[in-house]
Amino acid sequence: MSTSLKVAVLGCGSVGSQVVRLLREQSDDLAARVGAPVELVGVAVRRIDAPREVDLPAELLTSDAMGLAVREDVDVVVEVIGGIEPARSLILAALEGGASVVTANKALLAEDGATLFEAAEKANRDLYYEAAVAGAIPILRPLRESLAGDKVTRVLGIVNGTTNFILDRMDTSGAGFSEALEEAQELGYAEADPTADVEGFDAAAKAAILASLAFHSRVTAADVYREGISEVTAADVASAQDMGSVVKLLAICELKDDAVAARVHPAMIPRSHPLASVREAFNAVFVESEAAGQLMFYGPGAGGAPTASAVLGDLVTVSRNRLASTRGVGESSYADRAVLPMGETLTRYHVAIDVADRAGVLAAVATAFAEHGVSIQTVRQEGRDDDAQLVVVSHRATDAALSATVETLRGMDIVREVTSVMRVEGDSE
Ligand SMILES: NC(=O)c1ccc[n+]([C@@H]2O[C@H](COP(=O)([O-])OP(=O)(O)OC[C@H]3O[C@@H](n4cnc5c(N)ncnc54)[C@H](OP(=O)(O)O)[C@@H]3O)[C@@H](O)[C@H]2O)c1
């Protein structure tokens, strides 16, 4: 066997500790798969004396991440620190110094992936990041390689386990958002500060990465329309149930007139849709392409060991490439598609309205939709007299026209309250 491949791991937290454990426990298999021994030569952390989830010889630990990233003998740098800095400077320095890089850093890739890809290109080195989206689920490589000969038209993903857990609890127990969030925190599915998850920032970063790969264009987190789940009420969830649907936080990336639309928001999907069966903290990505049709990728979207599985898969690939003195597929942004503003994106709305019990109410509501060019798919009336509610589901229209319709409804004197507004996804109309 040839000389060993030297690996440096930056970060030894939830993911890093599991990467280190697997690297050591599976060293014989990894050596056989790569074609050379894979040797862990250093692990960078912030607090050198903090307890670790993995046994590590003290001489491997360092707090000098930059020194480790640019060490001349290091072949592959694994970045699992997270955040923008110092992760970006470390990755750029590692590439410039001649190492290949594996990272799980969705925040950085979604904010400034272009700088990293250009650096990898210039250095003629690999930059792999399967773990950045949906943890253990292989989805980036299928998009980048397996589907490279097809035309992807749409990617729908449940890519945040925390929000899926919360919405699943609201669906099964009738709990409100705060109660379900509290349970998620008690069970360790939500952070003490859950903002990044519940407000959709994490999912938006993943949507940017998915859209970039699916549509061969550069899409950043700032391009992704984002709405979280903190405003989803028990009434919204019950309303979805009445329609035979379930509420999910979706990352949606699609083509419209050759432009890219990328958005993250809660949506009602029919229970018959494959994504509706994704329960608890699991993730799934549903891909539609011209030739393949519909594909679904499902599994654990987070957690130290599942995420480390994806990191190790990349590590094997980039290590093999190094031994063969070659490089894998780099960034593909040749299509350079524009990103559509949310207002021009086509969506459907579910609107529940408390209305006065008067003749002509239905006609007045229908007129409000028609004035904005929105056609109605179904209207259902629930209750009677003072308790009357209309539930309207629209056909596809621009998001701007739909939100203007809701504004008009809110201003009508026959409308007591618009009690629920939610987008509808996942069926053929
Ligand atoms: N956790 C998941 O389930 C998951 C899933 C998918 C992707 N990811 C991604 O994986 C990455 C790591 O996440 P994580 O959950 O493992 O984070 P984490 O548990 O917070 O671990 C971060 C590690 O980085 C180290 N670190 C922080 N600043 C440093 C610095 N300046 N120099 C050297 N080391 C430094 C910390 O050192 P100390 O231990 O000494 O503080 C810690 O070991 C992130 O990009 C995250 O988005 C995580």
What one-character-per-residue DSSP string does 282-333 give?
EEEEEEEETTTEEEEEEEE--SHHHHHHHHHHHHHHHHHHHHTT--------
Confirm or reject: Cβ of 12 under 6 Å from ligand 1.
yes
- From first to last of its 429 residues, the chain has per-residue pLDDT tens of 458 999 999 999 999 999 999 999 999 999 999 999 999 999 999 999 999 999 999 999 999 999 999 999 999 999 999 999 999 999 999 999 999 999 999 999 999 999 999 999 999 999 999 999 999 999 999 999 999 999 999 999 999 999 999 999 999 999 999 999 999 999 999 999 999 999 999 999 999 999 999 999 999 999 999 999 999 999 999 999 999 999 999 999 999 999 999 999 999 999 999 999 999 999 999 999 999 999 999 999 999 999 999 999 999 999 999 999 999 989 999 999 999 999 999 999 999 999 988 888 999 999 999 999 999 999 998 877 667 899 999 999 999 999 999 999 999 999 999 999 999 998 765
Q: In angstroms, what is the span from residue 287 Cα to ligand 1's centroid?
A: 29
Closest-CA residue, ligand 1 atom 25, reads: 11
Confirm or reject: Cβ of 16 under 6 Å from ligand 1.
yes
Q: In angstroms, what is the span from residue 330 Cα to ligand 1's centroid?
A: 25
Contact 207, 157 (CB under 8 A): yes
- Listed residue (137, 85, 135, 130) closest to 111, CA to CA: 85
DSSP H helices, 63-126, are: 65-69, 87-96, 106-123
Closest-CA residue, ligand 1 atom 17, reads: 13
The pair phi, psi for residue 257, each rounded to 5°, is 50, 45
Measured distance between the N- and C-terminal CA atoms of the chain, rounded to whole angstroms? 58
Q: Is the dihedral of CA 277, 283, 284, 285 positive or negative?
A: positive
Q: In angstroms, what is the span from residue 79 Cα to ligand 1's centroid?
A: 9
Residue with tokens 């069970």: 187
Cis-peptide, bond into residue 86, ω within 30° of zero: yes
Confirm or reject: Cβ of 131 under 6 Å from ligand 1.
yes
| Residues 6+ positions from 32 with CB-CB distance below 8 Å | none
Confirm or reject: Cβ of 308 under 6 Å from ligand 1.
no
Which of 43, 61, 307 for a ligand 1 pocket mutation test, highest count of atoms within 8 Å of Cβ?
307
- Listed residue (129, 397, 171) closest to 278, CA to CA: 171
Confirm or reject: Cβ of 80 under 6 Å from ligand 1.
yes
Residue 357 neighbours by CB distance under 10 Å: 12
Q: In angstroms, what is the span from residue 353 Cα to ligand 1's centroid?
A: 46
**Which positions are catalytic?**
206
